[in-house]
Structure 1
Amino acid sequence: MAVNRDYIFQPRMSYRTVSGVNGLLVILDDVKFPKYAKIVNLCLHDGTIRSGQVLEVSVSKAVVQVFEGTSGIDAKNTVCEFTGDILKSPVCEDMLGRVFNESAKPIDKGPTVLAKDFLDIQGQPINPHSRIYPEEMIQTGISAIDIMNSIARGQNIPIFSAAGLPRNEIAAQICRQGGLVKVPGKSVLDDHDDNFAIVFAAMGVNMETAHFFKQDFEENGSMENVCLFLNLANDPTIERIITPRLALTAAEFLVYQCEKHVLVILTDMSSYAEALREVSATREEVPGRRCFPGYMYTDLAKIYERAGRVEGRNGSITEIPILTMPNDGMYLFYGSGILFKVICSIDTYHSPYSRFDRLHY
């Protein structure tokens, strides 16, 4: 039964019509005018509140994907409230130097971050006509990248790795040594170190890796310039899909409203793709190659295409996705867009002279 509530902006509807629970999905019947991608709050019998998002709608039925998992959800006593709003992330400049979970909540025991704005995590598409061609360089401190595969501001360039290679050490090294390269004729403020920030998103990592990133950033003094998002391997799968979007939303705020040059590092995108596969299997969709969903490339493109520079803004978003290729296969997650593969034959954590073999496909 639906209950109307009077809100100033939009009324909310509550239901006790859960007809089934399947994996991460909750199925609701007798829903009035359900809308795709809207946020749903689920109140359990013990008072616990969980959040979800509408994945599918059909006449009066709605399929809701629960972010925190469906364990403990009782079909009879669970109250589902349709908020009528989309998933948004709180953003502000004070996010730099802080550590957040996959729900954009601080987990570093620091003070609460006061949001300056709430932005849609899906972002806004960039008009191709408004894009500026990437020309100005961002240094990583790794000679093999800076000399042979230079990264420009606003570029999207991946690092491909294989199981057992030190991709986490390379990602941490880029955060420690990354910075802007001064361009003759440009404003001094535009190339100043204070105008550069890093947004780091780790997906599906274990506790040891998460501790390594936090400890490395803090010990080397780079934490004050980094916004860190952590999604652990034991966290719900669906939250792994949200993590890179939260990171890019924070980066877009720093770029378009604070006019900073932001480097976004996403690791490991293979964990993200596996989360897509798990959610797709739960929804019983027709699988593609290696059981990954057929829309995986489209979903990844929504993430990668958020990098770039826009006319009228001084800031830029530069993306470095790091991927661990299954069985060392080299085109599953990027098609023909492969630039280089990490082949580290020495200790890259203590030495910047790692080898990068250039690949041509």
Structure 2
Amino acid sequence: MAIEYLGLDSINGPLVVLEGIQDAAYDDIVEFVVEREEHKLGRIIEMYENKAVIQVFESTANMSLDNTHTKLTGHAMELPLAPEILGRTFDGIGRPIDGLGEINYVVKRDVNGLPMNPVSREYPRNFIQTGVSAIDALTTLIRGQKLPIFSGDGLPHDQLAAQIVRQASLKTEEEEEFGIVFAAMGVKHDVADYFKRTFEESGVLDHVTMFLNLADDPVVERLITPKVALTAAEYLAFDLGMHILVVMTDMTSYCEALREVSASKQEIPSRKGYPGYLYSDLASLYERAGILADKPGSVTQIPILTMPNDDITHPIPDLTGYITEGQIVLDRSLEGKSIYPPINVLPSLSRLMKDGIGKGFTREDHQDVANQLFASYSRVTDARSLASVIGEDELSDIDKKYIEFGNKFEREFIGQEKDESRSIEETLEKAWELLRILPRHELDRIDTELLNQYYKVGR
């Protein structure tokens, strides 16, 4: 039964305190009525005996201690869900903002979700094709995986995210439904408009569900947005049997919102002012990716974060790297060469890649080609370092070949157009074109049978 209270005991930024409450629990949703007309939402984030600390999702500027009615709903935040959420756009807490009306929901789900039983998880194995060569060949995205993109301020992670949403598809002969859940946190209005316009113009909006938390939206709402998006993804995957790719940008905005609210609660800070529970909080989001053995569908995650000062040891990328299964790293020096997407393949990796590529998944030569590209590009770095000391003209013939390979690898393999989608076959053929620049005896990471089949000059 919902209980109403008149007045508040204190207000501190986005937090309000209410005393004398009964039958309330942590994470319960609270409804406020200000001046008998304006409605706001909040949630209980701390409980002390009969006192509750409530996080208000909107501004508390017009709230005072005696003009506010508080109603305890007795349940956590729930998201109304139905198959029609595909193709729709919502705000950060799941309210429709596309002018198409409310959702005629089939079910409501707690946005906090339920933890996946590790015993019931299936090992991720199938390949998701993004159409981006540097990802598909070298840091392959596997269905059910969580593979973050580490970026920096000013790098084109928004364009890459939009391209992945436009181009992502299942690489399978079976007819399986595929969908995208896109969550944006703390983005500017022009960035939100860019995503909406891009999806509409490319015709993919009908299988994309968008959740947009804008930069001028309440910071507390930002903490709910990824939970709402993942709840929608779990419904589409495990109730409707779809394979869902969740793209979340920018996780740094989420973590900064967490730090701001933690400071308002006067909690003891940890590294760089972030709360000590940042790791477990991020894990509660990232671990909602996966495949369940007894249910159809899957949830795959690509969280995108901007590294403050391009520092990969910063707490946000550092902790994210511990939880997730690899990372894709964007590089400022490649961006300076006008290479898009500026993916630095050497620090990038996909820990589940080996189990979702090769014969029966992509192509039998995929793993060997990837290993050779990594090894050869590493040699390019050594050759460039030597050339910076003695000059390129003084390099040996083989080092000059590696310099040529490196330049073409960056321009033609890593680099591609923002609307260019390459199949895995096209990506691997392009890799072989580049590997033929090098003498055959340098390709020591590829099986002899595969070399005999694919290493033919002028093939």
Give the superposition deviation at 1:46. 4.1
The more displaced of 88-97 and 327-336 is 327-336
CA contact (8 A) 1:17 1:30 kept: no
**SS of 1:84 mapped into structure 2:** strand
1:311 to 286, 293, 301: 293
1 CA distance for matches of 2:213 and 2:51?
Answer: 31
Runs of 4+ in 1 over 6 A off after TM superposition: none
Residues 128-175 of structure 1: per-residue CA shift (max 9 Å, x gap): 111111110001110000000111100001000011110000000001
CA contact (8 A) 2:329 2:348 kept: no
1:228 to 210, 216, 226: 210
Give the superposition deviation at 1:79. 1.0
1:139 to 115, 126, 129: 129
> Which residue identity does 1:168 align to in structure 2?
D
2 CA distance for matches of 1:346 and 1:55?
Answer: 42
Matched, 1:355 2:337: no
Residues 58-102 of structure 1: per-residue CA shift (max 9 Å, x gap): 111111111112121121121111111111111111111111101
Give the superposition deviation at 1:55. 1.1
1 CA distance for matches of 2:337 and 2:91?
Answer: 28
Give the superposition deviation at 1:270. 0.3
> Which position in structure 2 is the counterpart of 1:163?
153
> Which position in structure 1 is the counterpart of 2:237?
255
CA contact (8 A) 2:7 2:67 kept: no
CA contact (8 A) 2:144 2:299 kept: yes
Give the superposition deviation at 1:314. 2.5
1:300 to 277, 282, 287: 282
The more displaced of 102-111 and 306-315 is 102-111
1 CA distance for matches of 2:51 and 2:31?
Answer: 16
Matched, 1:37 2:27: yes
2 CA distance for matches of 1:121 and 1:358?
Answer: 37
CA contact (8 A) 1:44 1:77 kept: yes
Give the superposition deviation at 1:103. 2.2
**SS of 2:75 mapped into structure 1:** coil
Give the superposition deviation at 1:285. 0.4
2 CA distance for matches of 1:72 and 1:198?
Answer: 38
2 CA distance for matches of 1:348 and 1:29?
Answer: 60
CA contact (8 A) 1:200 1:264 kept: yes
> Which residue identity does 1:327 align to in structure 2?
N
Give the superposition deviation at 1:21. 0.3
CA contact (8 A) 2:160 2:341 kept: no
1 CA distance for matches of 2:118 and 2:36?
Answer: 50
The more displaced of 174-183 and 273-282 is 174-183
Give the superposition deviation at 1:348. 11
Map of 1:58-73 to 2, 5 A cutoff?
58-73=48-63
The more displaced of 310-319 and 337-346 is 337-346
1 CA distance for matches of 2:233 and 2:102?
Answer: 19
2 CA distance for matches of 1:355 and 1:35?
Answer: 45
2:167 to 170, 177, 182: 177
The more displaced of 151-160 and 47-56 is 47-56
The more displaced of 124-133 and 333-342 is 333-342
> Which position in structure 2 is the counterpart of 1:7?
none
> Which residue identity does 1:248 align to in structure 2?
L
2:183 to 190, 193, 201: 201
> Which residue identity does 1:240 align to in structure 2?
R
CA contact (8 A) 1:143 1:353 kept: no
> Which position in structure 1 is the counterpart of 2:139?
149
> Which position in structure 1 is the counterpart of 2:226?
244
Q: TM-score, normalised by structure 2?
A: 0.72
Report the RMSD for the aligned CA atoms in angstroms. 1.9
**SS of 1:73 mapped into structure 2:** coil
CA contact (8 A) 2:289 2:300 kept: yes
> Which position in structure 1 is the counterpart of 2:175?
189
The more displaced of 333-342 and 231-240 is 333-342
1 CA distance for matches of 2:337 and 2:26?
Answer: 46
Which runs of 5 or more structure 1 residues have no equivalent in the other structure? 1-10
The more displaced of 81-90 and 259-268 is 81-90
CA contact (8 A) 1:200 1:228 kept: yes
Which runs of 5 or more structure 2 residues have no equivalent in the other structure? 350-459
1:26 to 16, 29, 43: 16
2 CA distance for matches of 1:52 and 1:353?
Answer: 40
1 CA distance for matches of 2:101 and 2:192?
Answer: 21
2 CA distance for matches of 1:308 and 1:244?
Answer: 16
**SS of 1:163 mapped into structure 2:** coil
Matched, 1:106 2:88: no
Give the superposition deviation at 1:357. 2.6
Matched, 1:289 2:271: yes
1 CA distance for matches of 2:188 and 2:111?
Answer: 25
> Which position in structure 2 is the counterpart of 1:14?
4
Q: 1:168 to 1:97 in 2, by over 3 A?
A: same
CA contact (8 A) 2:32 2:39 kept: yes
2 CA distance for matches of 1:348 and 1:242?
Answer: 38
2 CA distance for matches of 1:120 and 1:241?
Answer: 15
> Which position in structure 2 is the counterpart of 1:218?
200
2 CA distance for matches of 1:306 and 1:293?
Answer: 21
Q: 1:160 to 1:18 in 2, by over 3 A?
A: same
Matched, 1:279 2:294: no
The more displaced of 12-21 and 121-130 is 12-21
CA contact (8 A) 2:28 2:73 kept: yes
Map of 1:333-352 to 2, 5 A cutoff?
333=316, 334-335=318-319, 336-337=321-322, 338-343=326-331, 345=334
Q: TM-score, normalised by structure 1?
A: 0.91
> Which residue identity does 2:343 align to in structure 1?
R
